[in-house]
Amino acid sequence: MSERIDRLSGEDVLVEVRDLKVHFPIKRGVLFDRTVGHVKAVDGVDLRITRGQTYGLVGESGCGKSTLGRALLQLTPPTSGEVSFDGVELTTLAPNKLRTMRRRMQMIFQDPMSSLDPRQNVESILTEGLQAHGIGGDRNSRRKIISETLDQVGLPRWALSRYPHEFSGGQRQRIGIARALVLGPELIVADEPVSALDVSIQAQVVNLLDELQDNLGLTYLVIAHDLAVVRHISDTVGVMYLGALVEEAPSDRLYTEPLHPYTRALMSAVPVPDPDVEDRRERILIAGDLPSPANPPSGCRFHTRCPWAQPTRCADERPELRDIGGSRVACHWAEQIASGELRRHKVSVEITRPAGEGEDPSVVSAPTEPGSFV
Ligand SMILES: Nc1ncnc2c1ncn2[C@@H]1O[C@H](COP(=O)(O)OP(=O)(O)OP(=O)(O)O)[C@@H](O)[C@H]1O
């Protein structure tokens, strides 16, 4: 059994991240030579991605999703922590060995227009990576690989001689996917792969990613702010807040039974197709702005905005991710919130149905004071 097979669960773990931190220095002074602090973009993340699965990463803008994705591929050097890929520790790997590993881990980006060189035609874009990694031999055999890759992403052969601006947004994203795929990767980090596309095109690209995964056994880390896209595509979803994971669960479970207050708030904003359910749903509004990652709150980072925050533990003690019924949750009070023992204490509820008979008292209850248990 190789090292990457987890001894307890028997899972084939392709990626394992341990206590990963990425802190960017904040520079001041005429020559920007003074470090006055650090942006803690990623601040102690642990996660595992099983081979052949899709791990979805969600959270507000600026919470560190892209930095985590880039640090996982060592495109942004981590400040500390470990990242192992197929049992190989990447953070301490010599540059030439890392280069060899990179072929197996590729990235696709949000905006295909800005990630593709407008002066290169598609053949040149796809050849570049092959040449850099010494794959494919002579021009003809490279062309064969490239043509097969175009077929896989649903682009015609004539695309080879065309330039990025000659394609639609959806087609350009297919070129971006082809560029990653041509190297035969096992892991693809997709950073907002459909958010720059028209809604009508998004489904096509999501379906293509699905198909490629089925056919090629790919493993994905999909970073997205669109919760519906993430639910559709992911096996496991991780929710990030201010550089840390606050909850991680199998996709359906996270959406039907969110446990962390932040996840509850995010999920309460996802529209439900059934109008009856939609009308009766409560919205949990998150108070205030996202604090600065240069100066995150003490204890639980969410406590300054959490409708359930309790003195003084939430401000004093950083909650660890812990298992609760198949989810991993970083909240001291997750069980009490789930059982209704602990109630919200801030005015943070919006009810979409008209006030009237049959209301659920737990939804329209008057705000209680911090610390009160009902
Ligand atoms: N190279 C960098 N130097 C300094 N700060 C950075 C750098 N890259 C990102 N940051 C900061 O790190 C924090 C996390 O950024 P990141 O882009 O990872 O978040 P995100 O969740 O992906 O957001 P978005 O969805 O808007 O891309 C932000 O405060 C950002 O300004």
Quote ipTM for the complex: 0.97
Residue 24 CA to ligand 1 center (angstroms) comes to 9
Which helix or strand (DSSP H or E) is residue 201 part of?
helix 199-216
Domains and CATH numbers, the chain: 13-241 (3.40.50.300), 250-364 (no CATH)
41 lines ligand 1 (CB under 6 A): yes
Q: How far is the CA of 67 from the centre of ligand 1 (A)?
A: 6
Is 369 a residue whose pLDDT tops 50? no
Atom of ligand 1 nearest to the CA of 294: 29
Average pLDDT value for the chain:
87
* Whether the Cβ atoms of residue 233 and residue 190 lie closer than 8 Å to each other: no
- State pLDDT tens for residues 21-49: 999 999 888 888 888 899 999 999 999 99
Percent of the chain with pLDDT over 90: 68
Candidates 38, 39, 290: which one to mutate for ligand 1, based on the most atoms within 8 Å of Cβ? 39
Please write the tens of the pLDDT for every residue from 132-187.
888 878 888 899 999 999 999 999 999 999 999 999 999 999 999 999 999 999 99
- Rounded to whole angstroms, the Cα distance separating 192 from 13 reads 24
Which residue's CA is the closest to the ligand 1 atom numbered 16?
64
Q: How far is CA 79 from CA 3, 38, 137, 300, in A?
A: 25, 11, 38, 22
Cα 352 to middle of ligand 1, angstroms? 34
- Distance (angstroms) between ligand 1 centre and the Cα of 79 equals 15
pLDDT at residue 229 is higher than 50: yes
Nearest CA to ligand 1 atom 29: 62
Q: Would you say the CB of residue 173 lies under 6 angstroms from ligand 1?
A: no
The structure's pTM equals 0.88
Q: In sequence order, what are the beta bridge partners of 57? A: 223, 238
Identify the three-state secondary structure at position 225: coil
Using the Cα atoms of residue 249, residue 210, residue 267 and residue 316 in order, give the sign of their dihedral. Answer: positive
Reported as type and span, the H/E element at residue 255 is helix 251-256
* Per-residue pLDDT tens digits for 325-338: 999 999 999 999 99
As a whole number of angstroms, the distance between CA 104 and CA 102 comes to: 5
Is 42 close to ligand 1, i.e. is its CB under 6 Å away? no
